[in-house]
Structure 1
Amino acid sequence: MTAAVGTFTLEADGERLACTVVEPAAPARRGTALLMHGGGSSGKHRCLPLARELAVAGCRSVVFDFAGHGESTGELGQLSLARRARQARAVLARHAPDGPLLLAGFSMSGQTVADLLGDPDIGGRVRALALGAPAAYAREVRELPFAAPEFTATLRTPGSWRSSSAFETFAAFDGRAVLVLPETDEVIPAEVTDALDAALRTRAAYTRLTLPGADHQLGGWLGTHPEHRALVAAALLSEA
């Protein structure tokens, strides 16, 4: 089955966001998946292989570049966790305004998944989520630009992540949840991963996958390892 790929731009949050929609060959029967890349030099291109994998299984997918990344406008240093959530909401409002949702987030976007899940206008539509080497951030940095000294200082404060909203939000989720981890993660502390694991086990239909040989850059890894990509897609779309 060949997926149809369309590219669009969206004016939102004072930026022009570059979006790609991957449509299955047959009408989508599993809802829409929003796949969100991590921070730094990442971009939507890292999510496209998984989006195509989901399309083969009948799931429509949307990916986009956050402001300051890829083909979108903006400066990375002026982005914030709150702006990321606003931009993701705008993309959903344009490309998936109704119907079931699947959310997938890599690294920094683990927090963005939690922010969307906690939104009363979105959370009730979410049937499944996948978190790839996810991060969690202190509540007090939510509005801070990434370039702000206070943002970095808080991240460097031991245990600051414990105030993240992600743990409470994921603990309340009762849909399908997949935690995808690399064999070695040089970025996310093990105690953060353990806390997220514990939260996801509370109510969700939960699967934990560890990919042998992978590192923190899981989006790129899945792009070059089709067997792992298929495994993640099957776990996310499982009806069990």
Structure 2
Amino acid sequence: MLSPSTHDHFAFDHFTCDHDGERLSCVSGSAGGGPTATAVLLHGAGVGNKERLLPLLEEFVARGCRGLALDFSGHGESSGALGELSLKRRFEQAVAVIDASVPADAPLILVGFSMSGQTVADLAGHYGERAAALGLCAPAVYGAAAWPVPFGDGAGLFSELIRTPDSWRRSPALDVLRAYAGRAVLAVPGTDTVIPADVTEAVAEALATRARFTRLELPGAEHMLGLWFRDHPEDRRRFVDALLGGPDDQGRKTTGSSASVAE
């Protein structure tokens, strides 16, 4: 089911994808032309949704990529209850939408915010060499025991597992990121009261192992980087530049509203 709508200067197609008893609300766009990479944008937990990511989606499409975003079940315009969602179901829903709407040989640019840092790692492990670039925005990673557990109401087993001290250090996501050899960008807000600094540094160290890695510092931003990129077009462009740039960007660290690069 497709319906066109216009966001700023670009027309997106809104559609739904049925998976595992849920109807997932999705949006896609393309500048036309031949085969190209598809940027897949994945929102965070809580009140996260695809709508706040549309300006970033438009930025990718303006550079010649295909763009795709979805509401996970229990979020935005998708069906389902948030308490029934899990990290496992998030992964499976993203796979279902990608496989249904992206050509099977198309490279993927996987971008995840907060909780979707884990989902990006899960997808990178699943799609292997098709994952041409990873964008991790204030990302979270979780221990394996939490992966299949429904989120519940915030006071159940999932919350207990993720609040176990240092449980994230054994996250399979970190193993995937250590092995990843494509382009990777880690966007780090100046103030993050959600993701512990130790998690951010562990992700950075994992990506620095093999990836062509850029760390993008956003000193004025807080945790919700989807909203930050929505409202700060210069930083939005810098993020996309870093993900789509050439191989000479390896090891970059950029800081501030204007790009200040330290090799």
Please indicate the TM-score interval, normalised by the length of the shorter structure. Answer: over 0.9
Match of 1:56 among 58, 62, 69: 62
CA 1:28–1:4 in 2, change beyond 3 Å: closer, same or farther?
A: farther
- Describe the superposition over 1:66-108 as per-residue Cα deviations: whole angstroms up to 9, x where unpaired: 0000000000000000000000000101111421111000000
1:126 corresponds in structure 2 to 131
What amino acid is the match of 1:9? Answer: T
Normalising by structure 1, report the TM-score. 0.96
Normalising by structure 2, report the TM-score. 0.87
Identity %: 51
2:111 corresponds in structure 1 to 104
Match of 1:168 among 163, 175, 181: 175
For the 8 Å contact 1:66–1:72, the answer to whether it is kept is: yes
TM-fit CA distance, 1:28: 5.7
Q: Secondary structure at the match of 1:130?
A: strand
1:196 counterpart = 2:203: yes
Match of 2:46 among 26, 37, 40: 40
1:216 counterpart = 2:226: no
Q: Distance in 2 between matches of 1:54 and 1:190?
A: 29
For the 8 Å contact 1:177–1:205, the answer to whether it is kept is: yes
Q: Secondary structure at the match of 1:47?
A: helix
Q: Distance in 2 between matches of 1:136 and 1:43?
A: 19
Match of 1:143 among 141, 148, 162: 148
For the 8 Å contact 1:28–1:58, the answer to whether it is kept is: no
Q: Distance in 2 between matches of 1:88 and 1:11?
A: 12
Q: Distance in 2 between matches of 1:123 and 1:153?
A: 32
TM-fit CA distance, 1:154: 1.2
For the 8 Å contact 1:29–1:59, the answer to whether it is kept is: no
Moved >3 Å (runs of 4+): 1-4
Give the greater-gyration-radius structure (CA).
2
Q: Distance in 1 between matches of 2:132 and 2:190?
A: 27
What amino acid is the match of 2:62? Answer: V
2:97 corresponds in structure 1 to 91
Q: Which is further off, 28-37 or 127-136? A: 28-37
**RMSD across aligned positions (CA):** 1.4
Aligned pair count reads 237
1:66 corresponds in structure 2 to 72
Q: Summarize the alignment of residues 221-236 of structure 1 with structure 2, pairs less than 5 Å apart.
A: 221-236=228-243
2:253 corresponds in structure 1 to none
2:212 corresponds in structure 1 to 205
Q: Which runs of 5+ in 1 are unaligned?
A: none
1:239 counterpart = 2:235: no
Q: Distance in 1 between matches of 2:244 and 2:107?
A: 12
CA 1:28–1:162 in 2, change beyond 3 Å: closer, same or farther?
A: farther
Q: Which is further off, 96-105 or 197-206? A: 96-105
